């Protein structure tokens, strides 16, 4: 019974009747007219340069809990990301920011995932983890720890705001307010406003209005591409300026 419960909860990050109902259907596309996609989309990949055909390191690492775990099943969403930049997906249901996850199978925190992949990507870590974390000083500590680690690796952080809906509405609102304050203080922190981007959408979410199905995963991928573009362009310009002519 413990094993069955762990499998079901792998797809949820907030324990509510609605999210548990969604977790009973591990295929995140179950409420969509698009067939289920293989989990291979979540594996680490090496980008191939269009111009030279050579293997290049990924530019982006994506971390997330069960909300972002839709990328495990919607390969078309991952393809949207990889058409713009090489991307490593490292999502895990029940993942927390700096602490062990909310179930035994989620042993690595987002911070540990970031450290394990140091040197395997070059530019930006996207953070979608946090729905399982506590408010207040713990969240502040997590944001500082992750942005500090990213700075030590020479990379930027694109933090995705939390959807203010369902039984996480109040918690997400507080965390988003904290993120906006941090955005003005931390030099390598950027925000992607998923909460605003996903408002008024139809057919993007499970019954809990937080966890994604196919359309939502594609919408999230498009938002990430939009927000990553100026960050990557600025980094490319900085590299070019630092490179001696000739």
Per residue in 108-129, pLDDT (tens digit) is 999 999 999 999 999 999 999 9
Closest to 133 (Cα-Cα) out of 172, 181, 79, 97: 97
Average pLDDT, stretch 129-144?
94
pLDDT higher than 60, residue 66: yes
How far apart are alpha carbons 220 and 71 in whole angstroms? 10
User: What pLDDT score does 192 carry?
Assistant: 98
User: What pLDDT score does 246 carry?
Assistant: 64
pLDDT higher than 50, residue 91: yes
Mean residue pLDDT across the chain: 81
Query: CA-based angle 118:123:124, to the nearest 5?
Result: 90
User: What pLDDT score does 100 carry?
Assistant: 84
Using only C-alpha atoms, the chain has a radius of gyration, in whole angstroms, of 17
pLDDT higher than 50, residue 149: yes
């Amino acid at each position: 019974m413990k094993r069955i419960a762990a499998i079901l909860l792998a797809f949820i990050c907030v324990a509510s009747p609605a999210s548990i109902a969604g977790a009973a259907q591990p295929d995140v596309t179950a409420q969509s007219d698009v067939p289920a996609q293989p989990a291979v989309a979540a594996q680490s990949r090496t980008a191939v340069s269009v111009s030279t055909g050579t293997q290049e390191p990924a530019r982006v690492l994506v971390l997330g809990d069960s909300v972002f775990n839709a990328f495990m099943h919607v390969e078309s969403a991952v393809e949207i990301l990889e058409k713009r930049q090489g991307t490593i997906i490292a999502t895990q249901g029940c993942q927390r920011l700096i602490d062990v996850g909310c179930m035994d199978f989620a042993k690595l925190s987002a911070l540990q995932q970031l450290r394990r992949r140091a040197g395997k990507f070059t530019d930006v870590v996207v953070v979608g983890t946090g729905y399982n974390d506590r408010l207040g000083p713990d969240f502040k500590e997590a944001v500082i720890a992750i942005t500090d680690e990213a700075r030590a690796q020479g990379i930027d952080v694109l933090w995705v705001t939390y959807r203010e809906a369902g039984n996480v509405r109040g918690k997400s609102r507080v965390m988003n307010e904290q993120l906006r304050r941090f955005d003005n203080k931390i030099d390598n922190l950027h925000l992607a406003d998923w909460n605003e981007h996903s408002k008024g959408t139809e057919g993007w979410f499970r019954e809990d209005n937080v966890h994604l199905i196919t359309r939502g995963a594609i919408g999230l991928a498009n938002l990430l591409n939009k927000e990553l573009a100026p960050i990557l362009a600025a980094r490319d310009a900085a590299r070019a300026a630092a490179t001696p002519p000739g």
